[in-house]
Amino acid sequence: MIEECRDKQRQAEQERDYALSHQKKVEIPVEKPVLYQKCQNCNQTAYLRAKEKYDMQREKLSGRYKAKTVMYEALMFLLIWYSASTTLFQMIRSNVFISDCGRFFDIIATFIQTIAGCIVLTGKNVAQISDGISNPVVAGIGYWLIRILVCGGCLVGAGILLAFIGIKIAGLYKKCCWDMITILVTLISMEIAIYFGDWIKTVLPINLLFFLLFVQLVYVGIRWYVKGCRENRGCV
């Protein structure tokens, strides 16, 4: 009986090995179920009806969103225009602010005149090198040529430096402060400086226009720092 069982087991294993080595793969076509089947009593599918309903709702909501966006932008423009116009009119009536603006621009003009005088004096001193030339005509030509080159080079360098600084400030403004918050901060600071200029000068003797520029500088620094922190943390 043991040998008979072993023979049957050996025969079964041989049949198994033969079946594994000689089996054939047969592809049986299977019909895949469709997500939305056609209705038997109509020509439209449930998917088309749902898509049509979704498109209609989307167009309606998109139109409402555009209308509200236009209304919001128009309202904000009117508010900004009203605030700017009233602030400008009050600035014209404010003697303190007008006098501070005049003093501020006088200081800038005096500074520019001082720098220009230093440049002219430097060019004059450098041009004195031509005094060693024996020929007076050549010496005169060399004197004015050197003077023009020195003064022109200094002016061109100063212009390039100012343009570079202006471009950097404009890029920083556009990168960090190009939004509605900047407009609000600018208008609020201008209104405070114009409407409460007398009180500010009694507490803090400072030029009001310089005060506005200082506020803008502090504001841009804060926005730049906050944006850098958010970028480092991966929030932007």
Pull the structure tokens for residue 63: 């139109």
CA 81 to the chain's CA centroid: 23
CA proximity to 217, closest of 196, 184, 194, 189: 189
CA proximity to 22, closest of 30, 14, 12: 14
pLDDT at position 8, please? 81
Chain mean pLDDT for the chain: 80
Instruction: Give the ranges where 128-196 is alpha helix by DSSP (H).
Output: 136-176, 180-195
pLDDT at position 28, please? 65
CB neighbours (10 Å) of residue 172?
15
pLDDT at position 93, please? 81
pLDDT at position 27, please? 66
pLDDT at position 94, please? 80
**Tens of pLDDT along 54-76?**
888 888 888 888 888 889 888 88
pLDDT at position 39, please? 52
Q: What is the mean pLDDT of each run of 10 residues along the chain (236 residues)?
A: 78 79 64 54 65 86 89 86 83 83 87 85 76 69 80 85 87 80 84 83 83 87 83 69
pLDDT at position 85, please? 85
- The Cα 229–Cα 114 span in angstroms is 41
- The Cα 213–Cα 186 span in angstroms is 10
- The Cα 27–Cα 32 span in angstroms is 14
- Looking at residue 232, its amino acid is N
Query: 3-state class of 48 per DSSP?
Result: helix
Query: 3-state class of 38 per DSSP?
Result: strand
pLDDT at position 133, please? 67
**Tens of pLDDT along 28-59?**
666 665 555 555 555 556 667 778 888 888 88
Instruction: Give the ranges where 94-135 is alpha helix by DSSP (H).
Output: 95-127
